Amino acid sequence: MLRFKGKETNIIHMEPLLIFLLALILVLILTTYVRLHPFLSLVLASLCIGIMAGRPEEALSTISSGMGKVFSQFAIIITAGSILGIVLEKNGGMAIIASDLIKVSKRPLLALNMLGFIFAVPFMCSILAFVVFSPLAKDVSRRSNIPAGIAATSLVLGTLASFGLLYPSPAVISAATEMHVDIAKVFFMGLVIAFPISILGYRYATRSIKMKEHDYVLEATSLSKGSKSRASAYIPICLPILLILAGTFFTHPLIAFIGDPNVALLIGVLLCLVWSRSYGKELHEWIEKAIRRSGIVLLDLCGGGALGATFTMTGAGEALGKMFLDLALPTLLIPFLVAVAVQTVQGSRVVTMLVVPSLIMPIFPQLGLPAEISLLSMACGTFLVSHVNDPFFWIFRDLAELETGEALRYYTFGGILMGLAGLLLLGCVYVIMF
């Protein structure tokens, strides 16, 4: 029996670990079998958590605060990244950058991988980076006479590598803020892991073909009226990244201000819009499209914030951590396995990284791991196991024109390989640096 506001109630208080497991099962059913929108699935699961914990009224306020926290943290960076991606795609800037990278690399499939790796973070969305460059992947496939799935896989695994591990990706930035990590260490350790596993993704994609990549020639793309120089293509992307890095290393108030990811990305957006002003009405349509797209992403993230907050309310983190600690597993594996469990069930990497820190922080002292290592262990876990409940899975399958089984082989198993390799590299980094 529990008391609410001085009254007895017959609501049964379940154990936190049982609540955690039932909530994940509910999310899996709602997203995979009912095919309910992720936002609704996550919010409904959050409400059920409150009921199972015997604290429904507290759950309502917790859901609201969890959603509000996520919206305040991501609204600007997700929207700014979406605008950058859409406008640079439409005004020809992305075509210029893609052309230059392929000419430099002489390997079109490797260039696709690097395009995904480079642009997933500035766009603040791995899906957007894949969608922008998927026509180029199809062109590479057609002219090189290789299966479309090969080129698309090289591209998609590049986007996952940087988006999952590099600051200031949305998948990293929220956990970095909550765990009070050293941003510079997270960035460089993330880069040390992300770049090799991106190349591993490229090798995984091309393992079954023998292709003379240097035979591919990309025709030069002329600059459109909105992109009068290469600077107009590169600066809106490169300047925000440089500002963010400067804000990480320097403490001067002005540098810290313009180096904040929100401000840095807004600067990039303003420059992009200035260079594209000649498009007039079309430019406004692109901005509207970008804002609508970012709104959908933000709703999913807010649902993840609600789920993470209600898990924290129930004490699920302490219970889950105690279970793993009792199993005497290597501590490096614990954040990784918790992330794998959440990711496998609900599908979104950003949502996983919103939820898992709230589960791990209560047992953080017992783990004895540096905060940066714990964060990156979670990040590696987000690569496992993305399947039919991941919206990106279906976007990849449809744009690459694959069967579901083929998409599982390329996307899901490619991600598993990268996640395991990332964890192994993280172990090496831990031994060397700490």
69-109 pLDDT, tens per residue?
Answer: 889 888 998 899 989 988 988 888 888 888 888 788 778 89
How much is the average pLDDT of 28-38?
Answer: 81
158 Cβ partners below 8 Å, 6+ apart? 112, 113, 114, 115, 116, 117, 120, 198, 201, 202
Residue 322: pLDDT over 70: yes
Do 419 and 153 contact (CB within 8 A), yes or no? no
Closest CA to 83 of 301, 288, 296: 288
Cis ω before 168 (30° cut-off from 0): yes
**Please, which pLDDT band fits residue 176 given cuts at 50, 70 and 90?**
very high
Do 85 and 125 contact (CB within 8 A), yes or no? yes
Closest CA to 302 of 256, 348, 271, 337: 348
Among 19-33, 121-135, 257-271, top mean pLDDT goes to: 257-271
Residue 47: pLDDT over 90: yes
184-229: pLDDT as tens digits: 999 999 999 999 999 999 999 988 665 555 455 544 444 444 445 7
1 found inside a domain? no
345 found inside a domain? yes
What's the domain range around 317?
Answer: 12-433
Residue 2 pLDDT: 41
* Exposure letters 20-43 (e unless 16+ CB within 10 A, then b): bbebbebbbebbbeeeebbbebbb
Residue 198 pLDDT: 97
For residue 208, what is the DSSP state?
T
How much is the average pLDDT of 227-243?
Answer: 84
Residue 307 pLDDT: 85
Residue 8: pLDDT over 70: no
**Please, which pLDDT band fits residue 32 given cuts at 50, 70 and 90?**
confident
Closest CA to 294 of 135, 168, 173, 127: 127
Residue 15 pLDDT: 84
- The dihedrals phi and psi of 4, each to the nearest 5 degrees, come to -125, 120
Residue 326: pLDDT over 90: no
Among 50-54, 92-96, 287-291, 420-424, top mean pLDDT goes to: 420-424
Alpha-carbon distance of 141 to 143, in angstroms, equals 6
DSSP-assigned states of every residue in 340-393: HHHHHHH--HHHHHHHHHHHHGGGHHHH---HHHHHHHHHHHTTTT--TT-HHH
**What's the burial of 309, exposed, middle or buried (CB within 10 Å: 0-12/13-18/19+)?**
buried
Residue 365: pLDDT over 50: yes
Residue 389: pLDDT over 80: no
Tally of CB atoms within 10 A around 130: 28
Residue 227 pLDDT: 43
Do 148 and 401 contact (CB within 8 A), yes or no? yes
185 found inside a domain? yes
**Please, which pLDDT band fits residue 113 given cuts at 50, 70 and 90?**
very high
Whole-number percent of the chain with pLDDT over 90:
39
Helices (H) and strands (E) in the chain, counts: 21, 2
Residue 319: pLDDT over 70: yes
For residue 207, what is the DSSP state?
T
Alpha-carbon distance of 416 to 384, in angstroms, equals 5
Residue 42 pLDDT: 86
Residue 419 pLDDT: 97
284 found inside a domain? yes
5 found inside a domain? no
- The dihedrals phi and psi of 229, each to the nearest 5 degrees, come to -155, 165
- Residue 5, token pair as written in the block: 């506001």
Residue type, position 7, single letter: K
409 found inside a domain? yes
420 found inside a domain? yes
Whole-number percent of the chain with pLDDT over 70:
92
Q: Give pTM, 2 decimals.
A: 0.83
241-260: pLDDT as tens digits: 899 989 888 888 999 999 99
7 found inside a domain? no
Number of domains in the chain: 1
Do 336 and 423 contact (CB within 8 A), yes or no? yes
Comparing 144-148, 269-273, 354-358, which segment has the lowest mean pLDDT? Answer: 144-148
- Residue 365, token pair as written in the block: 């002292």
- If one compares 33 and 427, the residue with the highest pLDDT of the two is 427
Find tokens 């614990």 and name the residue: 334
Residue 10 pLDDT: 46
Residue 5 pLDDT: 41
Measured in residues, the chain has a length of: 434
Residue 401 pLDDT: 85
**Please, which pLDDT band fits residue 381 given cuts at 50, 70 and 90?**
very high
Residue 209 pLDDT: 65
**What's the burial of 129, exposed, middle or buried (CB within 10 Å: 0-12/13-18/19+)?**
buried
Tally of CB atoms within 10 A around 184: 13
Alpha-carbon distance of 413 to 271, in angstroms, equals 39
* Exposure letters 210-225 (e unless 16+ CB within 10 A, then b): eeebeebebeeeebbe
